[in-house]
Amino acid sequence: MAYELTEPKQTDDFTKGMMGMMMAVVMGGVMLNMFGSTSTAVGGGTINWDWLLQNASFEVMEPYSGDSTEKWNTGTATSGDSGGDLVTIGSPAESTKIYGLTITIGDFAPGAGITIRMYELVNGTEQQFYSQTFTVGTDPDAIPVIDGPFVTNDVIRVELYSDNPLDDDISVDYEYTIGRMQTT
């Protein structure tokens, strides 16, 4: 079946302006006029599409991946708790939108309890806001710790602890994606 794109019928100036508004496409915050004009009259005002394109902002997705090897059982993380620091995400005093963080636990000893903890600055003091224990062999090998948008105004520090002494010096993989606002 073939489809044909046709321009909608416009009966008066108000409808024409509204159709221009309704036919605007929002792509990552950038609005494009489907009629190809540089401005559209709407209700006595004018939308300048050239200005919008020049001053638009959009979000750039930046994927990151890495690994860390620590003394996950006998070590001491930055918080003072047992384990080690896995990754720090974001920049000090800068808002960051994190779209996902996945951590792999499949290389740890079967049956080991793996605790993932996350910390962030709240009013100048680092606070733990997440702690959950997963069991190797029972839970999935890849754990989506952040699954969806999460905004921080500083850095997020992730720690990991294994309750099995054989898990020291295991390499732990992680992946995350952050969004940064860019302007044109």
Structure tokens at 69: 């090897």
pLDDT of residue 148: 87
To the question of pTM greater than 0.95 for the whole model, the response is: no
Q: In the predicted model, is pLDDT for residue 58 greater than 70?
A: no
What is the separation of C-alpha 6 from the centre of its chain, rounded to a whole number of angstroms? 38
| C-alpha to C-alpha distances, 81 to 56, 78, 117, 159, nearest whole angstrom | 45, 7, 10, 9
pLDDT of residue 157: 96
Q: In the predicted model, is pLDDT for residue 181 greater than 80?
A: no
Task: Give the contacts of 45 (CB within 8 A, at least 6 positions apart).
Answer: none
| C-alpha to C-alpha distances, 46 to 19, 53, 57, nearest whole angstrom | 14, 15, 20
In which band, very low, low, confident or very high, does the pLDDT at 114 lie, cut at 50, 70 and 90? Answer: very high
Structure tokens at 155: 């850095």
pLDDT of residue 10: 45
Mean pLDDT of the chain: 79
Could you give the 3-state DSSP secondary structure of residue 172? strand
Concatenate the DSSP letters of all residues of 73-111 into one string: TT-B-TTSSBSEEEEEES-TT--EEEEEEEEE-TTSPTT
CA distance 53 to 58: 11
In which band, very low, low, confident or very high, does the pLDDT at 29 lie, cut at 50, 70 and 90? Answer: very low
Domain annotation for the chain: domains and CATH numbers: 13-55 (no CATH), 59-183 (2.60.120.340)
> Picking from 2-11, 56-65, 105-114, 159-168, which range would have the lowest pLDDT averaged per residue?
2-11
Higher model confidence: residue 102 or residue 30? Answer: 102
Q: Name the residue with tokens 């080690």.
A: 84
